Structure 1
Amino acid sequence: MSSQAPELLPELLLASHLKTLKLPTFLREHDKLARQCAAEGVDHVRYLARLVELELIDRERRMVERRIKAARFPAAKSLDSFDFTAIPKLNKMQVLELARCEWINRRENVIALGPSGTGKTHVAIGLGLAACQKGLTVGFVTASALVSQMMEARDERRLLRLHKQMAGYKLLIMG
C-alpha cells in the first residue's frame, strides 16, 4: 500500500459527503479557495463563510435559470436590451417601476395595448425575467396556444389540472 492512499481517503470522503449533501459549489471550489485563504492568512471561519457564500450565490443563479426555463419564454429579452427611445410614448420609469414586481404581490394586472411591433412582448418578457430573478414563478403562453391547450385539456378531461397549473404561476404572461 502506498503512502499516498491515506491522504486520498479524506478527499474521497469529503467529495462523497458534498455530493450527498448536494453542495456542488463546495465540491468544485473548496480546494482552490482553501489555498487562496491560506495564502492570504484567512482563518477557517472566514474560509467557510466565503465557501458558503459561493454556494448560495451559485444556488440562487441555478434557481433563477430553472424559473426562466420553466417560464418558456420565446426569447430571452431583458429590459436592459429594450430601446426606449424607439417608442417615446412608452413611460420608461413606469416600466422600470413594474420591473420591481410589487404589483404582482398585490395581485394586480398589467395590460399592454398597442399596434404590432411596438415592443409589448419584449417588455412583457423583460418583466417576466425580472419576476424570475425575484423568485417568482412565471409562465408565458400565447393566446392561441392557451386556447389550444384548453381545448386539448377539455377533450382529455384534464381541464382542472391545466387550471391548477395556470393558477400556480405568480405571473402569467399572455403574448
Structure 2
Amino acid sequence: MATCDWVKKGLPLCLIGDSGTGKSHLLIALGTEAAMAGYRVKYTPATKLVNELVEAADEKVLTKTIARYGRVDLLCIDELGYMELGRRGAELLFQVLTEREEKNSVAIASNESFSGWTKTFTDPRLCAAIVDRLTFGGNLIQTGTESYRLAITQARAAAQDSAAG
C-alpha cells in the first residue's frame, strides 16, 4: 500500500475496524506516503466534509467545492460511520464520490462494517451505491477489534500495580 500504486490507478481503500485499532493512523500514514510520492492529498473527517458540502450548497458554490475535492489525487475521509449524516449530507457526499469514481482515489476509515452503514446513510439505495463506489476494484483492510489504546492503558496499569506491589 505504501508504494501508492493504488493511488496511481485511482482505486479506493477502506479501513474498517473498531475504535483504537489504528485506522486513522494508517489512513494518515498512507496519505503522507502519497504526498511524499508527489500526489495531491486531502484529509478530512467525514462530518467536516459533509458540513462543508451543505454550506457550499446553501451558498450556491457546490459545483466549485465538489470540483475542488475532485482534483486531489487522494481524498482521505476519516471517521465515516460514526454519525448519521442525514439524507442531504449523504447525497452531497455521494456527489463527491461520483466525481472521483475510477479517476482519483478515496481512502476511508470507519468503525462500522458495511452492513451497519445504514445507520450513517439512512436511505438503503444510497447506502448501497456509496458502498459500491468505495469498494469497486479497491482494497479492504480490516484492522480488527482489539483497541491498541486500551491495551496500552491496561499494560501501564499492570506495570504500576506490579511496581507498587
TM-score, scaled relative to structure 2: 0.47
With CA pairs under 8 Å and 6+ residues apart, which has the higher RCO, 1 or 2? Answer: 2
Q: TM-score, normalised by structure 1?
A: 0.44
Query: Which structure would you say has the larger Rg?
Result: 1
The structure richer in helix per residue is: 1
